[in-house]
Structure 1
Amino acid sequence: MNRYLVVALVVFAVSAGIYWFVPTPRSGADRETLAIGERVYRTECAICHGASLEGQPNWQSRNAAGRLPAPPHDASGHTWHHPMQVLFEITKYGVGRFAGPGYVSDMPVYEARLSDGEIWAVLAYIREQWPSDVRKRHSEIEAQIRK
């Protein structure tokens, strides 16, 4: 058999395997965006919000410093209750933009640290981790604000 034909068949087989066995994104975001989002989440967010989006313990109770610990971004938290634009603005400009002046949070402001594209990619990555029923409810929230 021709050596080039064998190489072509191997390349085809590997490509087909990747296509069939690498999960397709469920959220509508492309794989490149989700990869960027995962990378940024792991380097910027996971230290507080957890590697599995689980948040910090007792996230609904103020700590000794009077601040709320980092909430989970998985289905057990409240992240999915908020429209994406609100989540984007909280990430970019800080929680105080919505909680009011004087609100103190341990969450950094990412305006000068991440690009808008990186923030949107992180949000797409987080949304991709939610179960289908939570993504569906989040889509309904998004649809309500567009009316």
Structure 2
Amino acid sequence: MSLLLIAACSEQTDTRSAGSALDRILGRDISPEQITRDFDPDQVAHGQTLFQKNCAVCHGQNAEGTPDWRKPLENGRYPPPPLNGTAHAWHHSTEELKRFILNGGPPGEGRMPGWEGILTDQEIDDILIWIKSLWPDEVYQGWYTRIENRPK
């Protein structure tokens, strides 16, 4: 499962300076309050199993992605990016990530197939919870306060 639009983003996150990367990309300060992740351990474990069964062939067993994922292949498409907090999954809301998984990647940008009718909504939610559980605290904090929970 490749999140194509994520691969098309241009900034890479260095988890050692995630706050500054988020500030540079989004131009806002990270909320000083610490966000607590209260993921259901069973959901995380189920998401990991589903990811390894369906997604790891492209994204790696630990969501580490493809080396040189930011460099287009000969056909102009991008290889699968990391989803572990070192790339761009955190640039997108849960709703957007779910849509990428269901519908696949935008034409011409990558090879992400659509998983609608293959994975259930709950299975996709579980996979996304596992992916988010991998993100460093600074990345999750920035994502939650700036992307997921931003005023609409």
Q: Deviations over 1:44-81 (max 9, x none)?
A: 11111111211101111111222100000122101111
Distance 2:38 2:102 in 1: 22
Instruction: Quote the offset at 1:31 in angstroms.
Output: 1.4
Per the alignment, residue 36 of structure 1 pairs with 46
Higher relative contact order structure (alpha carbons within 8 Å, sequence separation ≥ 6): 2
Distance 2:56 2:127 in 1: 11
Which letter maps to 2:117? A
Counting aligned pairs with the same residue, the percent is 33
- Provide the aligned length of Structure 1 versus Structure 2: 116
Distance 1:103 1:65 in 2: 9
Say if 1:91 and 1:110, in contact at 8 Å, map to a contact too: yes
Match of 2:133 among 107, 128, 132: 128
Scaled by the length of structure 2, the TM-score of the pair is: 0.71
Which letter maps to 1:126? I
Say if 2:69 and 2:78, in contact at 8 Å, map to a contact too: yes
Give 3-state SS (helix, strand or coil) of 1:126's partner. helix
Distance 1:121 1:143 in 2: 19
Aligned-residue Cα RMSD (Å) equals 1.4
Q: Deviations over 1:13-57 (max 9, x none)?
A: xxxxxxxxxxxxx63221121111001100111111111211101
Instruction: Quote the offset at 1:103 in angstroms.
Output: 2.8
Matched, 1:62 2:90: no
Per the alignment, residue 37 of structure 2 pairs with 27
Regions of 4+ moved over 4 Å? none
Say if 2:77 and 2:108, in contact at 8 Å, map to a contact too: no
Structure with the higher fraction of residues in helix conformation: 1
Matched, 1:106 2:111: yes
Name stretches of at least 5 consecutive residues in structure 2 with no aligned partner: 1-35
